[in-house]
Chain A
């Protein structure tokens, strides 16, 4: 059974940093693109970033470019999202997902709240 488990969310002040993790099991992690998708409270889904199987390609939505960094450790079956210079509008549930052309497996999400 494929499992994706996010962690690292919490309350942070504007301008602060947070690092999210996603632990994967039940799949050959190194064979798949992985993505982060977020959902602000009461709002729709927003694609945030993705990373190629070997980490050689990374893409971001414009609103997080220069502030967020996606990375992975295939030896640890883990995906990460380093979030710096956080803004109130980054408040959301962050999901990791096994991606590619469609997103079959999703984690349960971790809540990030940016507030003073």
Chain B
């Protein structure tokens, strides 16, 4: 199975900050990498698919990059509604494993 490792596990940031979350796959997954946002008590929401494609309706302050084994999710200017937990997921092969999550908290 492909292991997905996110870093950091949590971070504290202020509104307006630029935030970067990284995700590393245990083997090459090409660009089969998705990013999700989850708020407490809610289902995950797709933000980025195919490593760098912005899902319809998602604000342009979210962006994704990378290929192979190393990927990045960037929030260019953190907004109050962005405080949540973020997960990467590989869909290169089953099981479609998730990273352990990165909790973005208010500083």
Residues in A lying within 8 Å of B, measured CB to CB? 35, 37, 44-47, 50, 59-62, 95, 99-104, 106-109
1/0 contact string of B1-12 vs chain A (CB within 8 Å):
100000000000
Contact of B96 among A44, A95, A99, A107 (CB under 8 A): A99
- Residues of A near B96 (CB, < 8 A) are 35, 47, 50, 99
Question: Can you sample 30 A-B contacts with CB below 8 Å?
Answer: A37-B44, A44-B87, A44-B98, A44-B99, A44-B100, A44-B101, A45-B38, A45-B98, A46-B98, A47-B94, A47-B95, A47-B96, A47-B97, A50-B96, A59-B95, A60-B95, A62-B1, A95-B44, A99-B91, A101-B32, A101-B34, A101-B49, A101-B91, A103-B44, A103-B89, A104-B46, A106-B43, A106-B44, A107-B43, A109-B43
With most chain A CB atoms within 10 A of its CB, the pick from B46, B55, B95 is B95
Q: With A and B bound together, what is the CA distance between A2 and B84 in angstroms?
A: 24
**B68 interfacial contact with A, CB 8 Å:** no
> When the two chains form their complex, are residues A95 and B34 in contact, meaning their CB atoms are under 8 A apart?
no
Summed over the interface, the residue pairs from A and B with CB atoms below 8 Å come to a total of 57
Residues in B lying within 8 Å of A, measured CB to CB? 1, 32, 34, 36, 38, 43-46, 49-50, 55, 87, 89, 91, 94-101
Q: 10 other contacts beyond A59-B95, A95-B44, A102-B49, with CB at 8 A cut-off? A: A44-B98, A45-B36, A45-B87, A47-B96, A101-B34, A101-B49, A102-B34, A103-B36, A104-B55, A106-B43
> When the two chains form their complex, are residues B87 and A50 in contact, meaning their CB atoms are under 8 A apart?
no
Q: With A and B bound together, what is the CA distance between A99 and B101 in angstroms?
A: 20
Q: With A and B bound together, what is the CA distance between A14 and B50 in angstroms?
A: 39
Q: With A and B bound together, what is the CA distance between A76 and B93 in angstroms?
A: 28
- Residues of B near A95 (CB, < 8 A) are 43-44
- Residues of B near A107 (CB, < 8 A) are 43
- Residues of B near A102 (CB, < 8 A) are 34, 46, 49-50, 91
Contact of B43 among A60, A100, A108 (CB under 8 A): A108
